A = this chain, B = another copy of it.
Amino acid sequence: MELTPRKQKILETIIDLYTVSGEPVGSKVLCENLDFSVSSATVRNEMSDLAAMGLLDQPHTSAGRVPSEHGYRIYIDELMKPLPVTPEERHFIDALLLPSAYDPEKLLDGVARTLAGITHMAAITTTPSGSVSKIAGVQFVQTSRRTAMVILMTSSGTMYSRVFHCNFELTPEILRVFFRVFNESLAGKPVRSITPAYIQTMGASMGEAALLMSSALAALQDTAREAMGSDVRMDGQTNLLFFPEFHEANLRRIMRYLSRPQEVYQLLERAGSRVYIGRESGVSALRDASLVIKHYAVRGQDAGTIAVLGPVRMNYPKLIGSMDYLASSVGRMLTELINLQ
């Protein structure tokens, strides 16, 4: 059967109405909200066709119709257009991002908070894990007589720091030696090459100096482990409490899933920019939710993702418009931050 323009319009209107009300849409209210006038009987015939095409579901015989996952898919792929952010919204988003704009480490936190704030849903951001980035350099800062901080800087602009303690007095000279030794053997190497084995090799090649550096080496390995970890930030999980479709077991399933960042990370990284409606994600915990994923690029290279998790019934055009803008802002900001270096 063919999806005539009138059927398209009806599907769109059902999705619009269902998005705001959350209730199945009946033929009567539907034909009151159409921008052309036909009787409810005609609308019923069309709805019956759309249901036969698998675009609408019916909770039970005497209920109205609800868009099916497939219906949403057609709507998103063919019918809707992203709604670009207005200048006001742009200013609003920029203002929310500003406080974290100067620190790559904090930026993705700020983005998650911003995204959760403007969408009132759960927001997730990821940065590329160290598995793809390189070591830009290692820095040392003395923090007290016998403690110092090692800072690992990566090519993606992120920094990881750790404090370590030595059983001897540190001097600027010693730290300069640390700096030279560490940067000579590490700068330019992929972060993933800092393995315990490599650390041992480094230690071995230093001879006696290794004893002095053991705590620094251990601290460095800690930062590398952190850098290798998938970097996932979330915010606004509690926003999901306010959607009637997220209830009890359903909600618990979702929250439990979100508490395993590695899995979330993998889902987002391999997805590409797209919308997962309900069961499309293949994650059973998310079967009643939608996940909108948008990759952002730094220097033209795919660098990470921002994503929003919410009920299937959400305002996709608006959300996708906002996320498009936010993703480009983040990419631009990170590119600037890296170019500064």
Which residues of chain B have C-beta atoms less than 8 A from A153's C-beta? 143
Q: How far is the CB of A301 from chain B (nearest CB, A)?
A: 19
B259 touches A252 (CB 8 A): no
Task: Report yes or no: B141 in contact with A341, Cβ–Cβ below 8 A.
Answer: no
List of B residues within 8 angstroms of A142 by Cβ:
139
Q: Return the chain B residue nearest A176 by Cβ.
A: B172
Q: Does A36 make an interface contact (CB < 8 A)?
A: no
Q: How far is the CB of A78 from chain B (nearest CB, A)?
A: 37
A241 at the interface (CB under 8 A from B): yes
Contact of A255 among B103, B136, B164, B241 (CB under 8 A): B241
Q: By the criterion CB–CB under 8 Å, are A165 and B255 in contact?
A: no
From B139, B163, B252, give the contact of A141 (CB < 8 A).
Answer: B139
Q: Tell me if A299 counts as interface (CB < 8 A to partner B).
A: no
* Residue tally, chain A, CB below 8 Å to B: 37
Say which residue of B139, B164, B238 sits within 8 Å of A237 (CB atoms). B238
Say yes or no: B340 contacts A165, CB within 8 Å.
yes
**Residue A274 at the chain B interface, CB threshold 8 Å:** no
Tell me whether A149 and B143 are in contact (CB under 8 A): no
Closest to A139 in B: B141
Given contacts A259-B238, A341-B145, contact A102 B164 (CB under 8 A): yes
Q: Answer yes or no: A151 CB below 8 A from chain B CBs.
A: yes
Structural contact, B146 and A141, CB atoms closer than 8 A: no
Residues of chain B with a CB closer than 8 A to A219's CB: 102
List residues of chain B with CB within 8 A of the CB of A259. 238
A214-258 vs B, CB cutoff 8 Å, 1 = contact: the mask equals: 000001001000000000000001100110000000011001101
- Cα distance, A164 to B103, chains bound together (Å): 8
A104 contacts chain B at the CB level, 8 A cutoff: yes
Is the CB of A161 closer than 8 A to any CB of chain B? yes
State whether the Cβ of A297 lies closer than 8 Å to any Cβ in chain B: no
Q: Can you name the residue of chain B whose Cβ is closest to the Cβ of A237?
A: B238
A88 to chain B minimum Cβ distance, whole angstroms, is: 25
- A90 close to chain B: CB less than 8 A: no
Q: How far is the CB of A109 from chain B (nearest CB, A)?
A: 12
How far apart are the CA atoms of A138 and B127 in the complex, in Å?
A: 29
Contact of A162 with B by CB under 8 A:
yes
Between-chain CB contacts (< 8 Å), 6 pairs: A103-B163, A143-B341, A146-B340, A149-B159, A159-B163, A161-B161
